Amino acid sequence: MIGIIDYNAGNIKSVEMALDSMNIPYVLGKKPEDLKNADRLIFPGVGDAAYAMSQLKQTGFDSFLKDHAQAKTPIMGICLGSQIIFEHSEEGDTDCLGLVPGKITHFKNIFEREGIPTDGLKIPHMGWNDVHCKEDPVFNNINEGTAFYFVHSYVIEPAHWNAVRAFCEYGIKVPAVIRHESIIACQFHPEKSGEPGLRLLKNFCLPEGDLSC
């Protein structure tokens, strides 16, 4: 059973609608005990990292996610949920869940650090962008270079680039999908990315094989 984590900081309705459109059963959990029977978890999120972490701590989902990551439960993070699984975010100088080694950095600070001209590169990075992917079960039946929908001002910077399963180009190579043990995380919004996004969600929810790599 798929469990969707609702911690008052997620793009919950659009994820529900996406799964409903594919007749994939799920449970929506506002507290950890609601998801005790879930064997796969979707961890969405929009907005501010500090607020999201406060909500996770208030609901107990911070410990819940750490326990399930340790138990190797398949977890999919989406947008903010793909960021606060890391150790630290510049947004609000926030200590995050620490499920994946790495940090979250604002686009502006990366552009300045790398000496990249920002002409024409608006922040937030918003809209459709082609995604270049490595071989991974979550991309089964999705073509290389398929466009997905992004909305973000902060960038995933994993400690190890081999965690990156897909990237897009926006002045830099922007990690679009990372995998670490049983965790797969998408910076873009698969639930808002049309048929390819639904395919990706289905690959996670109804895998033909083990998603661990």
**Which is nearest to 202 in space by CA: 38, 21, 5?**
21
Question: What's the residue count for the chain?
Answer: 213
Predicted confidence (pLDDT) per residue in 95-131, tens digit: 999 999 999 999 999 999 999 988 889 999 999 999 9
pLDDT of residue 211: 44
Query: Using N-to-C axis directions, what is the helix angle for 12-21 and 194-205, rounded to 10°?
Result: 80
Instruction: Point out the catalytic residue in the list 68, 79, 96, 152.
Output: 79
Residue for token pair 């180009």: 169
pLDDT of residue 167: 98
Catalytic residue check, 160: no
Predicted confidence (pLDDT) per residue in 136-170, tens digit: 999 999 999 999 999 999 999 999 999 999 999 99
Instruction: Point out the catalytic residue in the list 125, 186, 189, 205.
Output: 189
The answer on pLDDT for 212 being more than 70 is: no
Task: Quickly state the pLDDT bin for 208 (edges 50, 70, 90).
Answer: low
Predicted confidence (pLDDT) per residue in 5-55, tens digit: 999 887 799 999 999 999 999 999 999 999 999 999 999 999 899 999 999
Paired strand residues for 10: none
pLDDT of residue 210: 46
The answer on pLDDT for 135 being more than 90 is: no
Assigned token pair, 137: 């079960």
Q: Which residue has the higher pLDDT, 46 or 183?
A: 183
Instruction: Enumerate domains of the chain plus CATH numbers.
Output: 2-205 (3.40.50.880)
Predicted confidence (pLDDT) per residue in 62-98, tens digit: 999 999 999 999 999 999 999 999 999 999 999 999 9
Q: Is the pTM of this model over 0.85?
A: yes
* The amino acid at 59: T
Q: What is the rounded average pLDDT of the residues 182-197? A: 97
Q: Where are the beta strands (DSSP E) in the chain?
A: 2-5, 26-29, 40-43, 75-78, 88-89, 94-95, 102-106, 125-130, 132-133, 147-152, 154-158, 164-169, 173-180, 183-186
Instruction: Point out the catalytic residue in the list 91, 152, 191, 205.
Output: 191
CA-to-CA distance for 24 and 168, rounded, in angstroms?
Answer: 29
Give the DSSP H/E element, type plus range, for residue 204: helix 194-205
Q: How many helices (H) and strands (E) does the chain have?
A: 6, 14
- Rg (alpha carbons) of the chain, rounded to whole number: 16
Catalytic residue check, 191: yes
pLDDT of residue 213: 33
